Amino acid sequence: RMINLAELTPYILCSICKGYFIDATTITECLHTFCKSCIVRHFYYSNRCPKCNIVVHQTQPLYNIRLDRQLQDIVYKLVVNLEEREKKQMHDFYKERGLEVPKPAVPQPVPVSRGRPRKVLGSVFRIPPELDISILLEFIGANEGTGNFKPLEKKFVRVSGEATIGHVEKFLRRKMDLDPACQVDIICGDHLLEHYQTLREIRQAIGESAVQDGLLVLHYGLVVSRLTV
């Protein structure tokens, strides 16, 4: 049966600009989709999803978004002339400014042992070079009186080497929903770390004994704050 476009419109509209998806881009944390330009602009001043308010990434939310080519193809097939209008607008934009019009990405054939070459596209988003430290957060326990807390869902984190132990503690507090009275002790090897220390300094000072498979290993424990005892 024929389907009215109005029935599908709510599923192919960007909630930020209220227009049809252009370069449909999905947040990997919550799977909400927006125009690429809309969500990139939004992340200039916020690290939360515009629809569900979840924290996408503490410091680099652009790392957790991906182009959704299949959804964009569907939008272009459903909305007549949308793709042609968008290409013309982009062409005019660059020409008016005397710039070279960028060429679309072309899938590159990859050699295979048998059969025809298979076309694949590389990752749309690469890890930014400033995210140069990968850390492994290992929980070593909590003493009595620390209250209820949520276990950390992801213990592997990639951050800038300029991030401090204070930033790591804030990350743990938010993700685990910790009570303010709960103290977080972060240890590397047998060293109790201070808030002002950066991850790069720690890795350089402690050396390979702090590294496991390329990851800086940090252990953290929860105790009742000394201020409340």
Task: Let me know whether 88 and 160 are in one domain.
Answer: no
Task: Let me know whether 136 and 93 are in one domain.
Answer: no
Q: How far is CA 180 from the centre of its chain?
A: 26
Model pLDDT for residues 52-79, shown as the tens digit of each residue: 999 998 888 888 898 898 999 999 988 8
Model pLDDT for residues 107-159, shown as the tens digit of each residue: 455 555 555 555 544 444 455 566 678 888 888 888 776 777 888 887 888 88
CATH code for the domain in which residue 34 is found: 3.30.40.10
Task: Let me know whether 10 and 93 are in one domain.
Answer: yes
Percentage of residues in the chain having pLDDT higher than 90: 18
Mention every residue, 6+ apart, whose C-beta is less than 8 A from residue 182: 146, 147, 149, 222, 223, 224, 225
Q: Which helix (H) or strand (E) holds 175?
A: helix 165-176
Which residue in the block uniquely carries the two structure tokens 């370069």?
Answer: 23
Task: Let me know whether 87 and 139 are in one domain.
Answer: no
Last residue of a domain, one of 51, 82, 97: 97
Model pLDDT for residues 83-96, shown as the tens digit of each residue: 899 888 888 887 88
Taking the C-alpha atoms of residue 40 and residue 45, their distance in angstroms, rounded to an integer, is 10
**What total number of domains does the chain contain?**
2
CB atoms within 10 A of CB 101: 11
Last residue of a domain, one of 97, 122, 142: 97
- Return the SS3 of 52: coil
Q: Whole domain around residue 148: which residue ranges?
A: 132-224
Say if 127 falls within a structural domain: no
Look at the chain and count its residues: 229
Last residue of a domain, one of 79, 97, 115: 97
Beta strands 156-159 and 182-188 are unpaired
Say if 74 falls within a structural domain: yes
